[in-house]
Chain A
Amino acid sequence: MSEIKIQIKNLYKIFGKNPESALEQVKDGVNKDELLEKHNHVLGLKDINLDIKEKSIQVVMGLSGSGKSTLIRHINRLIEPTDGSVVVDGEDVLKMNDENLRNFRRTKTAMVFQRFALLPHKTVLENTMFGLHIQNIDEKDANTRARRWIDRVGLSGYEEKYPQHLSGGMQQRVGLARALTNDGEILLMDEAFSALDPLIRKDMQDILLELQDELHKTVVFITHDLDEALKIGDRIAILKDGIMDQEGIPADILLSPKTQYVKDFVEDVNRARVIKAKHIMSKLNGQDRDNAMFVDQDDFIDRFIDKVISDKPNCLIIKNKNNDEIGYLSTKRLSEILKR
């Protein structure tokens, strides 16, 4: 298995005048509404535990105000926690001094923002070089690196434009190029695509997935949109009122939601479009394989369901990229999954 890149342990965040004393209350079980009413403090996060694997995309999902932005800002310590720890590559982020923290932010992480957060007085190229300028990397080197990423996100020819001159989708490409130019191993994306139109948003999701195939960054991706979460996430964590309700791979969240909140979220999802064969297969151990149909592990159900209906196989055999047989799926189980 891959290594843990980011480890968040027993993380609490309380906003207000005296978070320490409010922390006691929260640990004694006072909930968010009560805390606000009786103690005038806002519960941001409560006892969050999350291990984020190297080179994977971890989605954090929840409704507005559930604490997603607060959580992601703890990873690069834009927000100081009230209690708990954040460890990246074995190093405690909270123990870093100002200098070390700046270096950590300059070299290990990069962030993409919901409203793009570009500098209006700088061109696309200058914006993209921002992180390198901050690191005092020499102009020529910075220029080459920035141009490469501008090209990679499909913005060649726009280098000398100012952000206001670009559409939202293009501005966020600049945001993405700026983050990638920084070349950190960790990419933090706070509702990076939420402000975009659906079609543009889909484009951006595809760009991200395509890049990730090649770059293998550790991505923390915040969204309030379940479809986006399912499309992008290797794993999904669900936040509600500062508490993590459930965490797991997309299929688990869909097929066995643990709380009503998660159930409400996943109720209307078209499962065939978000569940892959590998998510629902069982181990191969000598099952009856007459009239079997072969399916790729990364195919979504709706890629092969038509063929299942027309060919009426008895069972499905799942194969990986090297064409090895790795799993088994009975048609009975398949129809159960689609029926619910």
Chain B
Amino acid sequence: MEDFLSEFPELSRETLRFIKKGFDASYRAFSREYGDAIEAVFDPVLYFLVWFEKLLQNSPWPIVLICFLAVIYFGSRKISVTIGSLFAFLLIGIFGMWEDTMSTVSIIGVCTMLSIGIGIPVGVLMAKSERAQRICTPILDVMQTMPSFVYLIPVVMLLGIGKIPGLLAVVIYAIPPIIRLTNLGIREVDREVLEAADAFGANPRQKLFQVQLPLALPTIFAGINQTIMMALAMVVIASMIGVKGLGQPVLKAITNQYFAMGLFNGLAIVALAIIFDRVSQSFGHRIQQHRSGSRE
């Protein structure tokens, strides 16, 4: 009796091992069977990622820098943000982190595009169907609370080490906000405005593209912003499974206790985060601004 209360009545070690082994074995069998096929599905993404990374790394740096600054300026329409970014990139280059930074930018870019491409349709589906919402919400909850390292395990078992598994881990980790906020944004659309669309005879497609998505856009943008931030945070972890970029030196710095190296690369990630954040936020504000005033 005393034993029963002080020790939780757990399964025997034998049984536990059996369960875990069985689970792993069947997953391994699954990945042996389908791993290659799944990998093939991601081939186009891989090609694109490699092409993009090479483009950023092999083009003359001044051109890349000018392109970046142009995007930053037209995204944010703020001179201060553009000049700040210029200095950040110059420092990154001077401290020898240009190539790694290009790798990181390319993987973040591709992850963001994938997240938008998958996340918005899923969010729309959730907003349109209560059933989809009931199914997706707990999955999203798990995705967001699961320690990020755990994602790496099944991905690595399935696809091994490399860019694609890293990319997948990042997308899985970073996609929930955009799904959630797309869903929320669409559900928050004023009921009377929707009624007006119905009253004027809009079909479901017209309603989605002319009313719901445009009205949800500011909220969706908040989601994209969060997704980018989470992708950046995940990059360091993803470097454990072979994603090149600023994460790898950080990892090396941890294992070898190189404080300065860790600090520099960490700061480069912070700089990227701030730039991405400012640009996407002011872009988001701009699309809202033109609603509360007249066209410029």
Complex alpha-carbon distance, A311 and B17, angstroms: 111
Give the interface segment out of B22-30, B101-109, B236-244, B286-294. Answer: B286-294
Place the interface of chain B in its size category: 20 to 34
Complex alpha-carbon distance, A78 and B191, angstroms: 12
Q: Is A103 a contact of B200 with CB atoms below 8 Å?
A: no
How far apart are A101's CB and chain B's nearest CB, in angstroms? Answer: 8
Chain B residue with the shortest CB-CB distance to A108: B201
Complex alpha-carbon distance, A317 and B291, angstroms: 58
A119 CB within 8 Å of chain B: yes
Q: Is A117 a contact of B190 with CB atoms below 8 Å?
A: yes
B210 CB within 8 Å of chain A: yes
How far apart are A139's CB and chain B's nearest CB, in angstroms? Answer: 14
Q: Is A162 a contact of B292 with CB atoms below 8 Å?
A: yes
How far apart are A122's CB and chain B's nearest CB, in angstroms? Answer: 8
B295 CB within 8 Å of chain A: yes
Complex alpha-carbon distance, A131 and B210, angstroms: 12
Q: Is B292 a contact of A164 with CB atoms below 8 Å?
A: yes
Q: Is A106 a contact of B293 with CB atoms below 8 Å?
A: no
Chain A residue with the shortest CB-CB distance to B294: A161
Q: Is A119 a contact of B215 with CB atoms below 8 Å?
A: yes
B206 CB within 8 Å of chain A: yes
Complex alpha-carbon distance, A131 and B206, angstroms: 11
Q: Is B193 a contact of A119 with CB atoms below 8 Å?
A: yes
Complex alpha-carbon distance, A130 and B214, angstroms: 14
**A130-142 CB contact bits vs B (8 Å, 1 = yes)?**
1101110000000
**A114-152 CB contact bits vs B (8 Å, 1 = yes)?**
110111110100000011011100000000000000000
Q: Is A120 a contact of B215 with CB atoms below 8 Å?
A: yes
Given contacts A115-B192, A162-B295, contact A106 B215 (CB under 8 A): no
Complex alpha-carbon distance, A103 and B197, angstroms: 13
B203 CB within 8 Å of chain A: yes
A204 CB within 8 Å of chain B: no
Given contacts A119-B215, A120-B215, A121-B215, contact A162 B291 (CB under 8 A): yes
How far apart are B197's CB and chain A's nearest CB, in angstroms? Answer: 8
Q: Is A117 a contact of B192 with CB atoms below 8 Å?
A: yes
Q: Could you tell me which residues of chain B, from 163 to 217, have a CB within 8 Å of some CB in chain A?
A: 190, 192-193, 195-203, 206, 210-211, 214-215, 217
Partner of B200, one of A105, A114, A123: A105
Give the residues in chain B near A165, CB-CB below 8 Å: 292-294
A251 CB within 8 Å of chain B: no
A304 CB within 8 Å of chain B: no
Chain B residue with the shortest CB-CB distance to A131: B200
Partner of B214, one of A106, A118, A121, A162: A121
Q: Is B293 a contact of A134 with CB atoms below 8 Å?
A: no
Q: Is B200 a contact of A182 with CB atoms below 8 Å?
A: yes
Interface centre among A101, A105, A119 (most CB of B within 10 A): A119
Give the residues in chain A near B197, CB-CB below 8 Å: 134
Complex alpha-carbon distance, A165 and B183, angstroms: 28
Q: Is A134 a contact of B202 with CB atoms below 8 Å?
A: yes
Given contacts A115-B192, A119-B214, contact A105 B199 (CB under 8 A): yes
A160 CB within 8 Å of chain B: yes
Q: Is B215 a contact of A78 with CB atoms below 8 Å?
A: no
Give the residues in chain A near B199, CB-CB below 8 Å: 76, 78, 105, 109-111, 188
How far apart are B191's CB and chain A's nearest CB, in angstroms? Answer: 9
How far apart are B157's CB and chain A's nearest CB, in angstroms? Answer: 46
Q: Could you tell me which residues of chain B, from 270 to 296, have a CB within 8 Å of some CB in chain A?
A: 290-295
Q: Is A160 a contact of B295 with CB atoms below 8 Å?
A: yes
Give the residues in chain B near A119, CB-CB below 8 Å: 193, 210-211, 214-215
Give the residues in chain B near A279, CB-CB below 8 Å: none
How far apart are B224's CB and chain A's nearest CB, in angstroms? Answer: 17
Complex alpha-carbon distance, A182 and B198, angstroms: 14
A113 CB within 8 Å of chain B: yes
Chain B residue with the shortest CB-CB distance to A188: B199
How far apart are B261's CB and chain A's nearest CB, in angstroms? Answer: 48
Given contacts A117-B190, A119-B211, contact A162 B201 (CB under 8 A): no
Q: Is A162 a contact of B192 with CB atoms below 8 Å?
A: no
Complex alpha-carbon distance, A325 and B201, angstroms: 48
Q: Is B195 a contact of A78 with CB atoms below 8 Å?
A: yes
Partner of A164, one of B192, B217, B291: B291
Chain A residue with the shortest CB-CB distance to B198: A78
Q: Is A102 a contact of B293 with CB atoms below 8 Å?
A: no
Give the residues in chain A near B295, CB-CB below 8 Å: 123, 160, 162
Chain B residue with the shortest CB-CB distance to A162: B291
Give the residues in chain A near B193, CB-CB below 8 Å: 117-119
Give the residues in chain B near A131, CB-CB below 8 Å: 200-201
Complex alpha-carbon distance, A165 and B292, angstroms: 6
Complex alpha-carbon distance, A328 and B292, angstroms: 58
Q: Is B196 a contact of A106 with CB atoms below 8 Å?
A: no
Complex alpha-carbon distance, A165 and B200, angstroms: 24
Complex alpha-carbon distance, A101 and B200, angstroms: 10
Q: Which 9 A-B pairs have the closest CB atoms?
A: A106-B201, A105-B201, A117-B196, A111-B199, A117-B192, A102-B201, A131-B200, A164-B292, A120-B291
**Given A76-B199, A110-B200, A162-B294: 16 more A-B contacts, CB < 8 Å:** A78-B195, A104-B201, A105-B198, A113-B195, A115-B192, A117-B192, A117-B195, A117-B196, A119-B210, A120-B291, A121-B215, A131-B201, A133-B210, A134-B200, A162-B295, A188-B199
Instruction: Mark B residues whose CB is within 8 Å of A.
Output: 190, 192-193, 195-203, 206, 210-211, 214-215, 217, 290-295
Instruction: Mark A residues whose CB is within 8 Å of B.
Output: 76, 78, 101-107, 109-111, 113-115, 117-121, 123, 130-131, 133-135, 160-162, 164-165, 178, 182, 188
23 residue pairs bridging A and B, Cβ less than 8 Å apart: A76-B199, A78-B198, A78-B199, A105-B199, A106-B201, A107-B201, A110-B199, A111-B200, A117-B195, A119-B193, A119-B210, A120-B291, A121-B291, A130-B196, A130-B210, A134-B200, A134-B201, A134-B202, A134-B210, A161-B294, A162-B293, A165-B292, A188-B199
